[in-house]
Structure 1
């Protein structure tokens, strides 16, 4: 028996840092959607766990215990041959490793019939792993354990762009000057949604730009694209997203980005319910 699971890109439409606990963990308030682009995880029964990796972003991906996929298999206690088809850039603020781990947990649960591990064990894999087990639009609070499923994600037309730099998450959080910022302006409205979204923030954007100024270049390129309604960084970077008013402006913006910056990773996508 073989089970395949899709591991979608996670997009933080907002990311408010609202505090820091005594143990160092940061408190967040984030609105998240998932995209129809991502990695794929395929699992089949085996006597010992083995991970192989292919795909356009496979270079440099570890296949041992340093990979969250392997750690996820250990957490659920199922041995399997696991194949990861890697399309998303690593350490990019779009949950690639966390989404891969969540897809592995789902696939191994289906393969074996075992339930998913308890929340504390899933959370120990990474703050975004419980989130990446969800779909649609989700509000994430706390350190990643407080999840609220919202209405299905709007059919947004997006571009994801990464300039090819890695911005370590601990470095970005450390550079954040203020750790107690206001949460999102809640409740989220049904009318004037883009305007409301534009009034929210990603508190990690400024420190990430300090660490990697090219992120500002990406944001400027997206914001200057005709039809762009909003551009912002996702997660701790360096991937940025832009929301476009229609498919034609999305297509033209992608073509322009690929002509002017062929070395950047760029992809058109849509939010999935």
Structure 2
């Protein structure tokens, strides 16, 4: 059996770091995850060898069991027939370390694909969470308000009549270093959420900001330059996605978005894409 899967990217609309969880030190946050139609493609050839292999068009990503695709395979394997195997090829379009959730989306796509082949129903949500805090979001995709460590999800209805222009500079940003630079202590008072109140007032881009920008833009001035360039090109809103390095601009006109793509080539790879609703 052969199959081809799409593993879609996400952006963060707003990202607030609220504090740290006393039990384990994980950072607490709130954000809106928004799925996009920009995607990796995962091609599988299922066989009865009992062995799973992974290959890719990119040679700068691990192809061993440190890759989230094979981690997802290993997570769901106890529920699969013992002789089930697959040759897996990932056509990576979403760059690693770009703040777009490519690896997490790949993992979720694998879990969803193998679920119907299981001899018993696997605990998909808990398996997803074991792989990463934002993997559960990609099981459903669409638009979701997230809090906790990013795993407490609630579908939200927001306007999707816009185009995103993603600017991906030729470097990644360390999430661990970004959190360290925020210097949030376990003794700090946990901030209250505010995105739900924003949504009750009616969705408006001006409400949202990404807390990581205050430490990442000084460390990576090019990110600040990209954000300014997007706004100057006519973006309604621009922000860092996650902890970066991708900066996105929101355009209400496809013509303005296309014009922006031609103007910002010097900053790195640029992709124009659309938001995806729940399917």
Q: What TM-score do you get using the length of structure 2 for normalisation? A: 0.88
Task: Report the Cα distance in structure 2 between the residues aligned to 1:216 and 1:135, rounded to whole angstroms.
Answer: 29
Structure 1 residue matching 2:90: 3-state secondary structure: strand
TM alignment of 1:62-141, pairs within 5 A = 62-77=62-77, 78=80, 79-112=85-118, 115-141=121-147
Task: Report the Cα distance in structure 2 between the residues aligned to 1:109 and 1:270, rounded to whole angstroms.
Answer: 28
| 1:270 aligned partner | 274
- Kept in 2, the 8 Å contact 1:106–1:116? The answer is no
Task: Report the Cα distance in structure 1 between the residues aligned to 2:232 and 2:36, rounded to whole angstroms.
Answer: 23
| 1:50 aligned partner | 53
Structure 2 residue matching 1:102: 3-state secondary structure: helix
Deviation string, structure 1 residues 194-237 (Cα, Å, up to 9, x no partner)? 3xx322221111122233221111111111112x1000000010
Cα shift at 1:112: 4.6
- Kept in 2, the 8 Å contact 1:44–1:111? The answer is no
Distance 1:191 1:243, change over 3 A: farther
Deviation string, structure 1 residues 2-42 (Cα, Å, up to 9, x no partner)? 23221111110111111101211011111111111110112
Cα shift at 1:135: 1.9
- Kept in 1, the 8 Å contact 2:198–2:207? The answer is no
TM alignment of 1:195-210, pairs within 5 A = 197-210=205-218
Q: What TM-score do you get using the length of structure 1 for normalisation? A: 0.90
Find 2:248's aligned residue among 237, 241, 244.
241
Paired residues in the alignment total: 264
- Kept in 2, the 8 Å contact 1:2–1:111? The answer is no
| 1:176 aligned partner | 182
Cα shift at 1:156: 2.0
**Where in structure 2 are there 5+ consecutive unaligned residues?**
none
Q: Which structure has the larger Rg?
A: 2
Asked if 1:24 is matched to 2:25, the reply is: yes
- Kept in 1, the 8 Å contact 2:168–2:268? The answer is yes
Task: Report the Cα distance in structure 2 between the residues aligned to 1:115 and 1:6, rounded to whole angstroms.
Answer: 23
**Where in structure 1 are there 5+ consecutive unaligned residues?**
none
TM alignment of 1:182-221, pairs within 5 A = 182-189=192-199, 193-194=203-204, 197-221=205-229
Cα shift at 1:59: 3.1
- Kept in 1, the 8 Å contact 2:71–2:131? The answer is yes
Asked if 1:253 is matched to 2:256, the reply is: no
Task: Report the Cα distance in structure 2 between the residues aligned to 1:113 and 1:265, rounded to whole angstroms.
Answer: 43
Task: Report the Cα distance in structure 2 between the residues aligned to 1:116 and 1:156, rounded to whole angstroms.
Answer: 37
Output the aligned Cα RMSD: 2.0
